[in-house]
């Protein structure tokens, strides 16, 4: 085999670090361009590959980059309450969604998309940066479903326009499905579905028809729906079948290391030292 045909060693640095939950591939590529990443004491470059023995640092802080010691990649759902923001920190000291998540030893939780401060409902968090990146990428057209309460009289003409497409300030947008869900007063409930997640897109679509959204709850993201048993402000790890559907939605292979999360644990029963001996009551 000639030298130019030898297989390349290792994996691309952004792939390894994203799989370990340090960030999305796009975010890691930004670190490389900003010369914040170093491999074995040298500034990393786009296209660099790493192996298990390499030492990777971000802003001179060492990152875990050894796949052989990788913990199972975790994914959970969170029922976001009103008033929390989807950032890691806030200069106004408002509560963030990350403060409600369980602590993890390695990597970090990555939010799959965002909800604005007044929107409630389903958020997905994962330690798999590659999964998060693909779920958020517009080309994959992952469906989002919302329960929305509308103030004002909704005409058939409004619904037709919202499904055909409306020109917003950042381009055309539309709902792929709209279903009336109930209500007979000034407020009516609808279930809407769309295949992208632009900022405040659901609200802006209804507002384009002169209607006001008074309540907005995300109920589904791709194949994952918000269960009734997950109370407001609480989290739940995804079951194996649910998690596999999430990976299949973006044509990703279910990571073998994650199988460890779902293996039944064997409980060691401690045998009593008095087993087999005659029982004594202490009475004569």
State how far the Cα of 132 lies from the Cα of 113, in Å rounded to an integer. Answer: 8
- Alpha-carbon gap, residue 168 to 170, rounded angstroms: 5
Q: Where would I find the H helices in the chain? A: 13-19, 25-33, 129-136, 156-164, 201-207, 240-249
Is residue 65 within 8 A of residue 20, CB to CB? The reply is yes
pLDDT of residue 112: 94
Q: Which strands sit side by side in the sheet containing 56-58, from one edge to the other?
A: 42-43, 37-39, 56-58, 61-63
Residue-by-residue pLDDT tens, the chain, 284 positions: 444 444 457 788 888 887 776 777 888 999 999 999 999 999 999 989 988 788 889 998 888 665 544 567 889 999 999 999 999 888 899 999 999 999 987 678 999 999 999 999 999 999 888 898 899 988 999 999 999 999 989 999 999 999 999 999 999 999 999 999 988 778 999 999 999 888 999 999 999 999 999 999 999 999 999 999 999 999 999 998 999 999 999 999 887 656 656 655 444 445 545 444 544 445 54
C-alpha to C-alpha distance for 79 and 115, rounded to whole angstroms = 11
> What's the pLDDT at 257?
59
59 is catalytic: no
3-state secondary structure of 240: helix
Q: Please calculate the CA angle 12-17-22 and round it to the nearest 5 degrees.
A: 155
| Token pair of 156 as six digits | 């058939």
Which CATH topology does 9-69 take? Answer: 3.10.290
Instruction: Pick the catalytic residue from 4, 48, 90, 116.
Output: 116
- Cβ neighbour number for residue 19 with a 10 Å cutoff: 22
**The predicted structure's pLDDT at residue 258:** 66
Q: Which residues, other chains included, contact 229 with Cβ-Cβ below 8 Å and sequence gap of 6+? A: 236
For the chain, give every residue range classified as CATH 3.30.2350.10: 75-259
Contact residues for 16 (Cβ-Cβ < 8 A; gap 6+): 10, 50, 65, 67
Please, what's the largest Cα pairwise distance for the chain? 93
- Cα–Cα distance, 127 to 125 (Å, whole number): 7
Q: What angle do CA 232, 134, 61 make, to 5 degrees?
A: 85
Neighbours of 114 (CB within 10 A): 16
Give the per-residue pLDDT at 281.
47
Domain with CATH 3.10.290.10 in the chain: 9-69
Burial environment of residue 269 by CB neighbours within 10 A (0 to 12, 13 to 18, 19 or more) = exposed
Specify whether domain 75-259 bears CATH 3.30.2350.10: yes
Q: Which residues on adjacent β-strands are paired with residue 111?
A: 125
pTM for the model: 0.75
């Amino acid at each position: 085999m000639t030298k130019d045909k030898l297989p390349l060693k290792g994996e691309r640095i952004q792939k390894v670090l994203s799989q370990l939950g340090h960030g999305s591939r796009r975010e890691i590529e930004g670190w490389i361009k900003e010369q914040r990443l170093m491999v074995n004491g040298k500034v990393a470059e786009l296209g660099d590959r790493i192996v298990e023995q390499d030492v990777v640092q971000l802003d001179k802080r060492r990152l875990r980059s050894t796949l052989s010691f990788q913990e199972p990649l975790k994914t959970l759902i969170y029922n976001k309450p009103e008033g929390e923001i989807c950032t890691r920190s806030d200069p106004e000291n408002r509560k963030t969604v990350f403060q409600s998540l369980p602590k993890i030893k390695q990597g970090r939780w990555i939010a799959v998309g965002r909800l604005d401060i007044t929107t409630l409902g389903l958020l997905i968090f994962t330690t798999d940066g590659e999964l998060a990146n693909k779920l958020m990428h517009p080309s994959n057209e992952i469906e989002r479903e919302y329960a929305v309460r509308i103030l004002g009289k909704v005409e058939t003409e409004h619904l037709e326009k919202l499904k055909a497409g409306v020109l917003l300030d950042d381009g055309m947008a539309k709902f792929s499905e709209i279903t009336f869900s109930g209500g007979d007063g000034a407020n009516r409930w609808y279930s809407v579905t769309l295949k992208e997640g632009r900022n405040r897109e659901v609200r802006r679509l209804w507002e384009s028809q002169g209607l006001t959204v008074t309540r907005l709850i995300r109920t589904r993201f791709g194949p994952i729906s918000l269960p009734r048993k997950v109370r407001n402000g609480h989290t739940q790890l995804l079951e194996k079948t649910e998690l596999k559907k999430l990976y299949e939605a973006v044509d990703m292979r279910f990571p073998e290391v994650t199988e460890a999360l779902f293996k039944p644990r064997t409980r060691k029963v401690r045998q009593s030292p008095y087993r087999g001996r005659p029982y004594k009551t202490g009475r004569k």
